Amino acid sequence: MAPRTTRPVGTPTRGTTNPNRLRRMDRWIAAVHGPALRRCDAPPIAVDLGYGAAPWTAVELLQRLRAGADPRTRVVGVEIDPARVAAAQRHAREGLDFVHGGFEVPVDGTPALIRAANVLRQYDEERVAEVWGRLCARLAPGGLLVEGTCDEVGRRHVWVALGPEGPRTVTFAARLGSLERPSDLAERLPKALIHRNVPGEPVHAFLRDFDRAWAAAAPYASLGARQRWIRTARDLAADWPVVDGRRRWRQGELTVRWPALAPGG
């Protein structure tokens, strides 16, 4: 049984949500974390934390994980606003439940996945480590926390992936046709990084090099934005610890090890 508190931990978000908003994040989760979900002895539990005013993201997470990762997956939508939980109940079904709660994650069992999208942007940067620690402590062994931010229609995302031991990677993902330069993603940096995009900080240097590699790959634009992104990622990997490869780059993604971008203090 999950730990219970008399009052959910956290504050309500604005609740803004749209269908298909988190498709890029879901696609990455299914591809990268799918093997870990399939290794679970029991049906894996995935939590959509702070799903907002409408439960579309939880409904879609169930569909995508069952289709692309493990058909046994159960999804629990957790919301701190009780009115949102009540409104979501008509969407509940086999494998999909909605509960009232916050960062304490009041679900039975230990989640194999917690996804917190567009939740921490309203908090002070100083709260991030505390919240990450609280959420990671709820994960099953081998579990994953994905915390990040995207725009309203899901064209631009940046997220951090964390295990029980802490942050592992940062992923940049975009609809490439909408991107003028990679640093356009800076406005979607998660709370742990968005205020660190200033000279002297690693994430600022990374985005600078990302833009330079993009500019150098301009000749590939004649082959399409995807080919330009792939060339950019390949060149960037010569100087930064990029952990994925062409298969993910083709999806408009690029993932870097967290220590390379971690705030400098």
CA pair distance 164, 54, nearest whole angstrom: 29
Q: Which residues contact 42 (CB under 8 A, 6 or more apart)?
A: 109
Report, as an integer, the average pLDDT of 192-212: 98
Average pLDDT over residues 230-257: 97
d(CA 214, CA 252): 13
Q: Residue 3: what pLDDT?
A: 45
The model's pLDDT over 6-35, given as tens digits with 9 standing for 90+, comes to 689 988 887 778 899 999 999 999 999 999
Report the alpha-carbon distance of residue 145 to residue 203 in Å, rounded. 21
Residue 257's DSSP bridge partners are 169
Give all domains of the chain, ordered by start, each with its CATH number. 23-177+241-259 (3.40.50.150)
pTM attached to this predicted model: 0.95
| Predicted local distance difference test score (pLDDT) of residue 1 | 39
**What are the pLDDT digits (tens) for 67-80?**
999 999 999 999 99
pLDDT at 116 over 80: yes
- Tell me which of 14 and 203 has the higher pLDDT: 203
What does the alpha-carbon distance between residue 106 and residue 3 come to, in Å, rounded to a whole number?
6
Q: Give residue 215's pLDDT.
A: 98
pLDDT over threshold 80, residue 51: yes
Percent of the chain with pLDDT over 90: 91
Q: pLDDT tens across 82-111, in order? A: 999 999 999 999 999 999 999 999 999 999
Where are any strands of DSSP class E within the chain? 45-49, 74-79, 96-100, 113-117, 144-150, 156-163, 166-174, 253-257
Length of the chain as a residue count: 265
> At residue 180, does pLDDT exceed 50?
yes
Using 50, 70 and 90 to split pLDDT, how confident is the model at 265?
low
CB-based contact 104:11 (threshold 8 Å)? no
